[in-house]
Amino acid sequence: MSTTTRSRLSPDERRSQLLDLGVRLLSTRSLDELSIDLLAEQAGVSRGLLYHYFGSKQDFHEAVVRRAADALVAQTAPPVHGDPIDRLRSSMGAYLAYVEANREGYVSLVRGGAGGTPALRAIHEEARTALTDRVFVADALGELVPDTPVTRLVVRGWAACVEDLVLAWVADPTGVDREQLLAVLVDSLPALVGTVAGAGTAHD
């Protein structure tokens, strides 16, 4: 991009562009390795300007992880129409593709959810809530999952299972092919809901 183009951007657009670059850098690096120095070097701007945009390294990290979480939620939006299990398969395929393309950013998102700063925990919790709420919205008739306190709990557990499976698989895919994993990610939702006694009452 030319300096001329760059200078036409508003501060919000410029900040947004820097965050996109941060997310790209995070796809192959841990959060600890994503420094303001590295971003400055890659963006061709001064450290001072970055501190102007992001305040502190921690604020910068939180903004990048939030951007990554928003992208995950956006890219995994299921089709509006179709069979609930087909929509789930489409969404989980996009989820897996996102993690394959953004492995370290995904690790940062999930790790931050358990042991990070309160802000990182909140970002992970919001992303997980967006993904699990979607199950109930996309399945409003309860074809896969009736909406009860225990199924809400189980869908949360399913999301944790998905995160762990995907993280373990990208770290070491030996003996497990992508299609096999994707089938488990999709079929595990109705399978887990099926363990709830009386979960089928929506159909009774």
Residues interacting with its own copies, by CB under 8 A? 110-116, 148-150, 153-154, 156-165, 168-169, 174-176, 180-181, 183-184, 187-188, 191-192, 194-197
CB-based contact 64:53 (threshold 8 Å): no
Length of the chain: 204
Q: Cβ of residue 97: shortest distance to its own copies, in angstroms?
A: 19
User: Which lies closer to its own copies via its Cβ, residue 51 or residue 136?
Assistant: 136
User: Which lies closer to its own copies via its Cβ, residue 74 or residue 176?
Assistant: 176
Cα–chain center distance at 77? 11
Neighbouring CB atoms inside 10 A of 77's CB total: 14
Distances 124 to 22, 129, 177, 178 between C-alpha atoms, Å: 18, 8, 27, 25
Tokens at residue 124, please? 């992970």
Non-local CB neighbours of 124 within 8 Å, separated by 6+ positions: 69, 109, 110, 112, 113, 114, 116
User: Which lies closer to its own copies via its Cβ, residue 58 or residue 180?
Assistant: 180
Neighbouring CB atoms inside 10 A of 177's CB total: 10
User: Which lies closer to its own copies via its Cβ, residue 18 or residue 199?
Assistant: 199
Q: Cβ of residue 132: shortest distance to its own copies, in angstroms?
A: 11
Rounded distance, CA 78 to CA 13, Å?
28
Q: Cβ of residue 76: shortest distance to its own copies, in angstroms?
A: 18
CB-based contact 59:48 (threshold 8 Å): no
What does the DSSP assignment read for 16-39? HHHHHHHHHHHTTS-GGG--HHHH
Q: Cβ of residue 173: shortest distance to its own copies, in angstroms?
A: 9
Q: Cβ of residue 155: shortest distance to its own copies, in angstroms?
A: 10
Q: Cβ of residue 191: shortest distance to its own copies, in angstroms?
A: 4
User: Which lies closer to its own copies via its Cβ, residue 20 or residue 164?
Assistant: 164
User: Which lies closer to its own copies via its Cβ, residue 60 or residue 169?
Assistant: 169
